Each structure stands twice: as structure tokens, then as C-alpha cells.
Amino acid sequence: MAEIERPQIYLITPPEFTLETFPDRLAAVLDTHEVACLRLSLATQDEDRVARAADTLREIAHARDIAITIETHVGLVERLGLDGVHLTDGARNLRKTRKTLGAEAIVGAFCGTSRHDGMNAGEAGADYISFGPVGQSALGDGSHAARDLFAWWSEMIELPVVAEGALDEDAIRTLSPVTDFFAVGEEIWREENPAAALGRLIAVM
């Protein structure tokens, strides 16, 4: 029986960080572990801050041949030389976004716990579908994306699937056989040594 490929890491930035310290922490993680893609996910709506962060992180990512996407802000992708966008509202704006950014850009869609939304986003041209949260979380409406959803998707749909939200070692162990990517963010950034924290998660895959 062929060995199941280990899922790849889709690294998410913290929602809040300073350009004085975060780039070094990020570089340390990228130099320690193989990361497939980086997502800039800032909570701020300050365009200048987002642009400055994107410029800095793009250089760090591209120097290591890692693609960088930005959450939600379609209008900044081309202007800032980013590789694509992560949409948080499923298929809603996907066709329009694909038309705006063209065929080469990465366009991903977060679809919560809805198989139906995932299929719609796939049909609308998404490059990957992300489901979550996968762990128990009181955020949102409290629902979570179960292993069955990932198992069904991996078996029936060719489009890559991403597991994200409330990840811990148990969730990673459970989902590793049925997901293509783990989107890891605050789970590691809140630790003193994020590279070591990511290493612990990778070890249980």
C-alpha cells in the first residue's frame, strides 16, 4: 500500500503583530520547517499598515520560494505583488475575484463546516477549500468541521482541502490522513518558540 503523503503547512500570520519583531520570528519558522504557503491575515483595516506588512512579508516569503496570499483584500493582491487571496465568505465573491485576478492567482475559500458551500466554491473556480474550525471552539456558532467532512471530500473531490481553526495535536493526528493542508496560525504564534511549536504539530502527522 502506498504511503499517504503528509499534509503540507499553510502558515497564517497572527491578526496583530509589529514589523519590529515579527519578521524575524517568521523567518525562523520558515527556515526550520517546510511551508507551502503563507497567508497574511491582519485584523486591522488600516490600508497603510496592511500594505507595509505585506511588502515586508512578501520579501521574506519570496526569498524562500514560498507563495503569499492575503485574507479578503482582493484589491491589494496585484498592487502589492502577492500570489493570491483567501476569501472568508465561501463562494460568494469567487467568480468575480477569479475574473479580477486571472487564472494564475491563488484563490482559496473558507467554507466553514458546509460541504455544499465547498462544492459551490470549487465550481466557481477556487484553488482550494478550507473547512473549520476543526477543534472545539466557542467562537462563531460553536459548530466544528468533523473528520467525516474531510474524509468525504478527500475521497470524492480532487480539489485540495485545508483544515484550520482550533488545531491541536489530537485534531492533527485525526485529520492527517484526510486533509491536504493544515492552516496553522495563532496555535504557534502564542508560544515562546513558534518553530518548536510547529515542530510538535508536524511530528504527530
* pTM of the entire predicted model: 0.97
Positive or negative: CA dihedral 170, 173, 177, 182 = positive
Spell out, as residue ranges, where the chain has pLDDT lower than 50: 1-2
Domains detected in the chain: 8-203 (3.20.20.70)
Cα(165)–Cα(175) distance, integer angstroms: 13
- Predicted local distance difference test score (pLDDT) of residue 1: 40
Amino acid at 85: V
- Predicted local distance difference test score (pLDDT) of residue 142: 84
- Structural Rg of the chain based on CA atoms: 16
As given in the structure block, the three cell numbers for residue 59 are 520579501
- Predicted local distance difference test score (pLDDT) of residue 4: 60
Residues 150/175, Cβ–Cβ less than 8 Å: yes
Residues 133/140, Cβ–Cβ less than 8 Å: yes
Closest by Cα among 32, 78, 64, 60 to 194 = 32
Q: How far is CA 92 from CA 33, 48, 58, 76, 165, in A?
A: 34, 27, 27, 19, 21
Which letter does DSSP use for residue 176 in this model? G
- Predicted local distance difference test score (pLDDT) of residue 140: 78
Cα(161)–Cα(154) distance, integer angstroms: 7
